[in-house]
Amino acid sequence: MLAHRVLVQTRKGPVVGIFGSQPPHLLADEDRKKVIEPKAMFIDVGAMDGFDVVKKLGIRKGDFVTPISDFQIMSNNKLYLAKAFDNRIACALVCDVLSAIKPKTLAGPLFGVGSVQEEVGLRGATTSAWAVDPDLALIIDVGIARDTPGSEGGAEERLGSGVSIGVFDAGMIPHKSFLQLVIDTAEKNKIKYHLSSMERGATDGGRVHMSRSGVPAVSIGPAVRYIHSHNSIFARSDYDATLKLALAVIKRLDEKTVAGLIGMTRGAKPAAKAGKK
């Protein structure tokens, strides 16, 4: 974060600042080698002696700070650059899915959810899954691209590798039959895909699949470089593959298929549950 530009979002409007740091010239030799802890960092908003940031700028405790990191198409114009593609990508995908779907072709209602506070404990996923009470959930989140120096090693999860279909993460082992349906759908429609796993980290699926009496869920999405940093990169073709797969999966979810998938999870009266929606 050091030396990055940010905006402090105050009640009076955004205030530009930077993460300040000690020049290396002033540091002792042993301190130069150390990683600076977040609690030792500060944001310089241009204050000088006697300048009151509360009175003059309206800054107060609890204000959010956002990195300045504008969207840009890269010189390799297949790749897009900006902050927070994890998980603004899925918000865009959900919008694209909802605008491409013809409601009459659906077996039941389709909900698109953009949930809040995933990164700090899957909180929005908890409340939204309870409110929607879905029969099935297709979770859209980013994968971690492993195609940069230091993370090579033949990993399939690379920019341009199509849609990632999650087979395991720290929060969810996906419903096997639903997972198989998603994989089959990718193959039948010749959508470029790969299977991915993540030992640390989870998606909203971690909560959604445990909502109420259980919800069969599978997570899909494009691989992204440098997630959780101020700049991240993804390939447009992986976005398009994810959209294509989401639409093709939804198209296959007729009443019988949904009832079959729910029946394996919920046991009693799967058809009644499917009929309700």
Q: Pick between residue 86 and residue 169 the one whose CB is nearest to Zn ion.
A: 86
User: Smallest distance, Å, CB 84 to Zn ion?
Assistant: 9
Helical ranges in the chain per DSSP H: 29-32, 53-57, 85-100, 123-132, 176-188, 205-208, 236-252, 255-266, 270-276
Helical ranges in 74-223 per DSSP H: 85-100, 123-132, 176-188, 205-208
Q: Pick between residue 86 and residue 157 the one whose CB is nearest to Zn ion.
A: 86
**From 19, 86, 241, 274, residue interacting with Zn ion (rule: CB under 5 A):** 86
User: Smallest distance, Å, CB 198 to Zn ion?
Assistant: 10
Residue nearest Zn ion, CB atom distance: 86
Question: Which residue in the block uniquely carries the two structure tokens 């899915």?
Answer: 97
Residue type present at position 16:
V
Q: How many helices (H) and strands (E) does the chain have?
A: 9, 12
135 near Zn ion, rule: CB under 5 A: no
58 touches 11 (CB < 8 A): yes
Q: Pick between residue 198 and residue 259 the one whose CB is nearest to Zn ion.
A: 198
Q: Which stretch, 34-42, 85-93, 170-178, 252-260, contacts Zn ion (CB under 5 A)?
A: 85-93
Which of helix, strand or coil describes residue 236?
Answer: helix
Q: Which stretch, 15-23, 79-87, 99-107, 168-176, contacts Zn ion (CB under 5 A)?
A: 79-87
Catalytic residues: 118
User: Smallest distance, Å, CB 141 to Zn ion?
Assistant: 7
Total interface residues for Zn ion by CB under 5 A: 1
The number of CA neighbours under 13 Å toward the Cβ of 234 is 29
Q: Which stretch, 26-34, 46-54, 81-89, 105-113, contacts Zn ion (CB under 5 A)?
A: 81-89
Site residues (vs Zn ion, CB under 5 A): 86
